[in-house]
Amino acid sequence: MENEQEREKLVKREVLCEVSQLVQELMGQDKYFDDLSELLGEEDKDGNMPEVFEYRLVTPWLGEKLKAHGELVVTDFLNLVIWGRQTTGQPIYADGVIGNIVKKILTQ
């Protein structure tokens, strides 16, 4: 239970807002595509691309943590940090990567 409360606090503090429609619109423009292409990820060995369900603005601190955990993150797009969230249907605090970040913080 304590871990869940810590997850919720982290998300409230570090996840700023949802920007999916904006990012999708910008990706469709040649001017911004290269800057945002990290959010697309890379093909796996079977030729599949990662599936991103939503895009969120996050703090630079969380962006670095997410990137270190292999998440799709652009760390400096017009001074914004954007996370391509690859899970859906659950609160952000329930994402495994958020749990891993909190666990690491609590054990330091």
Q: What is the pLDDT of residues 90-105, one digit of tens each?
A: 999 999 999 999 998 8
Q: Average per-residue pLDDT in the chain?
A: 93
For 47: left if phi > 0, alpha if psi spans -120 to 50, otherwise beta; the answer is left
Count of domains for the chain: 1
Range of the domain at 79: 2-106
Report the pLDDT value the prediction gives residue 2, as an integer from 0 to 100.
60
DSSP 38: G
Q: What is the pLDDT of residues 44-92, one digit of tens each?
A: 889 899 999 999 999 999 999 999 999 999 999 999 999 999 999 999 9
87 phi/psi in degrees, rounded to 5:
-125, 160
On the question of pLDDT at 1 being above 60, the answer is no
**Position 35: which residue type?**
D
Q: Rounded distance, CA 86 to CA 61, Å?
A: 19
